[in-house]
Structure 1
Amino acid sequence: MSNDLLHRPARVVVGLSGGVDSAVAAWLLKKQGHEVIGVFMKNWEDDDTESHCAAAVDFVDAAAVADVLDIDIAHVNFSREYRERVFADFLEQHRRGRTPNPDVLCNAEIKFKAFLEHAMAIGADAIATGHYARVRHNTETGWYELLRGVDPSKDQSYFLYRLTQQQLSKAVFPVGGLLKTEVRRIAREIGLPNAAKKDSTGICFIGERHFRTFLTRYLPLQRGPIRDENGVTLGEHCGLPFYTLGQRKGLGIGGVRGVPEGASWYVARKDIPANTLWVVQGHEHPWLLSDTLHASDASWIAPPTPGVATMGSAKTRYRQRDVACTLRAAEDGRFTLHFAQPQWAVTPGQSAVVYDGEVCLGGGVIDAAGTTPSS
C-alpha cells in the first residue's frame, strides 16, 4: 500500500463503481485488515429512462461485489454536484470552441471532494478508488506525491493532477501497484462476479450514443464554412463545438466535387468569431504541429518556482507518451511548456500534465499552442 495512512487498521470508504478495479481494491483493503465500506456514486440522472450510463446495471454489479466481500454498500447521489461543478463547465468549454476533459474535473470535484466529504462525515480515515496511480508521503519535504501507476498502459495519474495535498493525504489507490492482468487474475481467483466485465470507456453521461447527437440537446447548431489553408470553401460544418483539433472522421468533405484527392483531411483550427472550421491535408501538416503551448488554471501538487525553467516531461492528452519539455510557471496560474520535438494537435481545453520521472507535478488547461520562431 502506498499511503502512510494505512500502516494501521483504518476505516476506508471505497468508491465501488461496479467495475473490476474498484472491486479488487476493496478486497485488497479488507485482506489487509481494514474496515471497508462501499459507496456507489450516482453522478448522472438526466437519462435514467434511457439507461445510457447503465447506472442501474453498475449498481447491481457493485452490490454483488459487496455481497461476495461481505461489506456494506450505500447508494449516494451526487448528480446535482456533478451538474453544477462538472457538466456546466463541460458545456461552457464547448461553447467556447474548446475540447474539455470532464474526467479531470470529476475527480477533483466529485470523487475526491463530494465523495471525500461524505466519507469523512461517516467516520472514514481514508477513501479508496480503483484508479491506477499511487500516493507517497515524502518525509523530507512533507509533501504527498502523486505517482504514476505501475502499469504504464493503465496509468491514470493524468486524470488526477488537480488533487490537492489534503485530498491526496486521504486517498488510497490499492491497485496502483499492480498490472491490469494481475487485477483480473485476483478477481477470478476470489470469485468476483464482475471479474470479466469490460472496462468502461468514454464519458459516463454520454455513454454509448453518438457524441454529436448528445451535445445537440444542450448546444445549438450554428453552421458555417469549412475552409482549407488557401481559404477555399470545401463544405459546411454543423457547429464548431462538435469538432476537435486533429479530428479526421465525420468532416463530410470526402468525395465532394472540387475537393482535392490525396491525403486525409484533419481539423487544424477553429475560428470562433468567424464561425469557420479550418482543415488541412496530411497528418504532419505544419498547422497541426506545435513546439510550445500556453496553459492556465494551473494546479500544482508541489508548486514550481515561478519564472524558473524546470526540465521534465508532459502529456497533452491521455493516450500519449511523455515528451521532454521545459516548464516556466507564473504566479497567476499560467505556464508555458516548450517541447524538444513538435507535438501533434495540441488542443485548447485539454489538460497539459507535467511529470518529473514517476512523480506527477501537476498541470493546467491548454489555452493555445504555437511554434517558437527560429533565431
Structure 2
Amino acid sequence: MNKKALIAMSGGVDSSVSALMMLEQDYECTGVTMKLFANEDIGVSKANSCCSIDDVADARSVATSLGMLYYVFNFADRFERDVIDRFVDAYVNGRTPNPCIDCNRYLKFDQLFVRAQELGCDYVVTGHYAQISYDEAKGRYLLRKAVDPLKDQSYVLYALTQEQLAHAMFPLGGLYKTQVREIAEKHGFVNAQKHDSQDICFIQTGTYADFIEARLGRKFNPGNFVDEAGNVLGRHKGIIHYTVGQRKGLGLALPQPMYVKEIDTKNNAVILTTNEGLFTKNVTAKNINLIDCDAITEPRRVKARIRYHQQEQWATVTQPDADTLQLVFDDPQRAITKGQSVVMYDGDVVVGGGTIV
C-alpha cells in the first residue's frame, strides 16, 4: 500500500514541483492550501496576499493536472494568534521578529501536522529548500542545508522537533532553483515562472509600522533619541518605526553617523550609537530547540547566524540551563537584534537555535 503525503501548496512553483516529485516516488498525495488570514480584517485585499484567490487557483490547477485531491484549510485564527499577534507584540516591546519562523513552528509543522494525521497521511511535504537525514549512530533525525546555497532555508526551520522531522519531507533540498523551474516548465505548470513570495506575506502595502498602527488602531507616541550616556539627540516618531542597526530615516543632523543600538520601551527612547558601538561578541538565546543532540553539555564549537542571510561565523556555545544558549563569537558581530534567531551549524547540519534575548 502506498504511503500518503499531504503537500502544502502555496500556489508557487516550489510546492508544485514538490508534489510532482512525491507522485513520481509513488506516494498517494493530497494537496492543501492554508488560508492563513482573513484578509479584509487587516486591510489587505484578497488579490495581494499569499493565500489569494489567484494562489489558490494556481495550486488547484497544478493539483488537478496531477490527479490529486485538493483542499483549502482555514487556519486564519491560529495564524492571527501565533504569527500576527506575536509579530505586533515583538515590535511593541522593542524586538524584531521573524514571522516566517513562527509560521513554520505553529502552522506548517504543527497545525498542518494535526490535519495530516486526521487524514491518515504519513508525511507533510513542503517546498522548502533543506534536507532531512537520519543518523543511525545518534538515533536522531538531522536537518541539513539545501544543495542550493542561494535558496537554503534551514535557518527558518531550526525549531523542528524530532517528531516533526520524522514526518516531514523536503523534496527540493537536492535541487537548484533553476532546475525546479525547468521541471515546472517541462510539465506545463501555470506557475513555472511565478515570482517567489515576499518574506512578510501579510504586509503588502506600506511599512510594518503602518500595519501595526492600523492593527492596534492607535499611533505610537514620539519620544527621545538618546546616546549611550543618556544625552538627548532629538525626537523620534514612535519606537515601532526603528530596528537595531538602522541609520536611514532617523531624521537627525549629527556630527557623525549614528545607528539604533537599542529600543528602550520603558522610557519610550531610542538609543543611538556609533557604528563601532553596534558590535559585540555575546549572544543569549531563549525558547531554544536542539536538533542534533539533546543538550550541549560542554562548550562546543559551531558556526552560527544571527539573521537569515548572514554568513555563518565561528562561535563557542554553552547551555547553562534547559532553555538558554550562550554564544561567544570569535569576532564581534554587528547589530545583534532581540527577537531574531541565532541558528547554529556543524558543517551542513543544523545543531539548533533559539530567539535572541
Q: Whole-Å Cα distance in 1 between the matches of residues 245 and 17 of structure 2?
A: 37
CA RMSD of superposed structures (Å): 1.8
**Equivalent position of 1:35 in the other structure:** 28
**Aligned partner of residue 175 in structure 1, secondary structure:** helix
Q: Which residue of 1 aligns with 2:319?
A: 329
Alignment check: 8 A CA contact 1:351 1:363 kept: yes
Structure-1 separation of matches of 2:120 and 2:109: 16
Q: Could you tell me which of 3, 16, 22 is aligned with 2:15?
A: 22
Q: CA offset at residue 167 of structure 1?
A: 0.6
Aligned to 1:151: 148
1:362 aligns to what?
352
Answer whether contact 1:306 1:331 (CA < 8 A) is retained: no
Which whole-Å CA distance do the structure 1 matches of 2:306 and 2:23 have between them?
Answer: 37
Q: Does 1:240 align with 2:235?
A: no
- Gapped runs of 5+ residues in structure 1? 1-7, 368-375
Residue 250 of structure 1 aligns to a residue in which SS? coil
CA distance in 1, matches of 2:177, 2:296: 38
Structure 1 match to 2:76: 79
**Structure 1 equivalent of residue 45 of structure 2:** 50
Shift in Å, 1:297: 1.1
Q: 1:13-55: per-residue Cα shift (whole Å, max 9, x none)?
A: 1000011100110011111211111000011114366234152
Q: 1:43, 1:78 within 8 Å by CA — same for their partners in 2?
A: yes
What displacement does 1:332 show? 2.9
Amino acid in structure 2 at the alignment position of 1:236: R
1:302 deviates by 3.1
Matched, 1:280 2:273: yes
Q: May I ask how many residue pairs the two structures share in their alignment?
A: 351
Identity of aligned residues (%): 38
Give the residue type in structure 2 aligned to 1:324: W
Off by >6 Å, runs of 4+ in structure 1: none
Identify the range of structure 1 (182-191 vs 240-249) with the bigger mean alpha-carbon deviation: 240-249
Query: Residue 183 of structure 1: SS of its match in structure 2?
Result: helix
Matched residue SS, 1:154 = coil
User: 1:170-208 CA deviation, whole Å, 9 max, x = no partner?
Assistant: 000000111111111111111111011000112111124
Residue 307 of structure 1 deviates from its aligned partner by 4.8
Scaled by the length of structure 2, what TM-score is found?
Answer: 0.93
Q: Which of 48, 58, 62 pairs up with 1:61?
A: 58
The corresponding residue for 2:263 is 270
- Name the SS for the 1:140 alignment partner: coil
Give 1:135 deviation, angstroms: 0.7
Deviations 1:305-363 (A, max 9, x none): 44510111111000111111101012330111111111110000000011111110111
Look up the equivalent residue of 2:14 and give its one-letter code: D
Q: Encode CA deviations 1:45-101: one digit per residue, 9 max, x unaligned.
A: 143662341522211111121122221210100111112222222222222110111
The alpha carbon displacement at 1:233 in A equals 3.5
Q: Which moved more, 1:235-244 or 1:224-233?
A: 224-233
Is the alpha carbon distance of 1:336 and 1:304 closer, same or farther for their aligned partners in structure 2, counting shifts above 3 Å? farther
SS, match of residue 174 in structure 2: coil
Contact 2:100 2:199 in 1 (8 A): no
Q: Distance in 1 between matches of 2:20 and 2:296?
A: 43
Give the Å deviation of 1:227. 2.8
Which residue, 177, 185, 207 being the options, matches 2:174?
Answer: 177
Counterpart in 2 of 1:93? 90
62-71 or 150-159, larger mean C-alpha shift: 62-71
Question: Contact 1:304–1:329 at 8 Å: present in 2 too?
Answer: no
In structure 2, what is the equivalent of residue 128 of structure 1? 125
Give matches, 1:286-301, under 5 Å. 286-301=276-291
Q: Is the 8 A contact 1:53 1:204 kept in 2?
A: yes
The CA distance in 2 between the partners of 1:145 and 1:73, in whole Å, is 30
CA contact (8 A) 1:132 1:157 kept: yes
Residues 80-89 or 197-206, more deviating: 80-89
Query: Distance in 2 between the 1:27 and 1:205 partners?
Result: 28
- 1:290 CA drift (Å): 1.0
Gaps of 5+ in 2: none
